[in-house]
Chain A
Amino acid sequence: MSDTTTRRAAETSGRQQGDHPSGDNRFELVDKQLKRGRYSQDQLIETLHVAQDVFGNLSEDILVYVARALRLPPSMVYGVATFYELFTFDPPGDHSCTVCTGTACFVKGADDIVQGVSEAYDVPAGETAADGSLTLKTARCLGSCGLAPVVVFDGEVLSHQNTESTLELVAAAVGGGS
Chain B
Amino acid sequence: MAAPIDLHEVSEREREARFRTRWRVKACGSTACISAGAGAVINAVEDMVEREDMQLEVQVIPTGCMGLCSAGPLMRMMRRGGQETDYQKVTPELSREIVRSHVINEEPLPEHQLDTGIPFFTSQERIVLANGGIINPDRIESYVAHGGYSALEKALTTMKPKAVIDEIRTAGIRGRGGAGYPVASKWSLLSAAAGDTKYVVANGDEGDPGAYMDRTIMEDDPHRLIEGIAIAAYATGASDAYIYVRAEYPRAIERLDRAIRVARRNRLLGRRILDTKFSLNVEIRIGAGAFVCGEETALMASIEGRRGTPRLRPPYPTDSGLWGHPTMINNVETLANIAPIINNGGEWFASIGTAKSTGTKVFALAGDITNTGLIEVPMGTPLRDIVEKIGGGVPDGGTFKAAQTGGPSGGCIPSKFLDTPVDYESLRELGSIMGSGGLIVMDDSQSMPDVAKFFMEFSMDESCGKCTPCRAGTVQMHNILQRIVDGHGTRGDLRDLEHLCTVVRDTSLCGLGQAAPNPVLSTLQYFRSEYEALLAKEVAHG
Contact = CB atoms under 8 A, between A and B. Distances in A.
B81 to A, nearest CB: 33
Contacts of A142: 248
B216 to A, nearest CB: 8
A139 B210 contact: no
Interface in B27-62: 31-32, 34-36
Nearest to A80: B307
A144 B31 contact: yes
A31 to B, nearest CB: 18
Interface string B388-411: 000000000000000010010000
B440 A107 contact: yes
Given A44-B305, A83-B308, A103 B210 contact: yes
Contact of A48 (B288, B304, B438, B464): B288
Interface string A119-150: 00000000000000000000111111111101
Given A107-B446, A146-B69, A83 B307 contact: yes
Contacts of B302: 45
A140 B458 contact: yes
Contact of A41 (B249, B305, B458): B305
Interface residues of A, number: 37
Contacts of B209: 101-104, 106, 140-141
A141 B306 contact: no
A12 B417 CA distance: 65
A86 B288 contact: yes
Interface in A75-131: 76, 79-80, 83-87, 101-104, 106-108
A42 interface: yes
Contact of A141 (B32, B210, B372, B446): B210
B288 A45 contact: yes
Contacts of A150: 35
Contact of B372 (A46, A85, A86, A145): A145
B69 A84 contact: no
A102 B404 CA distance: 13
A76 to B, nearest CB: 8
Contact of B290 (A83, A104, A147, A148): A83
B72 A146 contact: yes
Given A104-B367, A107-B367, A147 B247 contact: no
Contacts of B210: 102-104, 141, 145
Interface string B282-306: 0001111111000000000011111
Among A48, A139, A143, A158, the one with the most B-chain Cβ atoms within 10 Å of its Cβ is A143
Contact of B208 (A48, A49, A141): A141
Contacts of B442: 107
A157 interface: yes
B349 interface: no
A101 to B, nearest CB: 8
B286 A157 contact: no
B407 A147 contact: no
A139 B303 CA distance: 22
Nearest to B214: A143
Contact of B32 (A46, A48, A87, A147): A147
Contacts of A158: 35
Contacts of A46: 285-286, 305
Contacts of A141: 207-212, 248
29 contacts: A42-B304, A45-B285, A46-B285, A49-B286, A76-B306, A83-B309, A84-B308, A85-B289, A86-B289, A102-B210, A103-B209, A103-B404, A103-B440, A104-B210, A104-B372, A106-B454, A139-B248, A140-B458, A141-B212, A143-B206, A143-B212, A144-B35, A144-B69, A146-B69, A146-B373, A147-B35, A147-B36, A148-B372, A157-B34
Q: What are the 6 closest A-B residue pairs judged by CB atoms, nearest first?
A: A146-B69, A143-B212, A85-B289, A102-B209, A84-B288, A145-B366
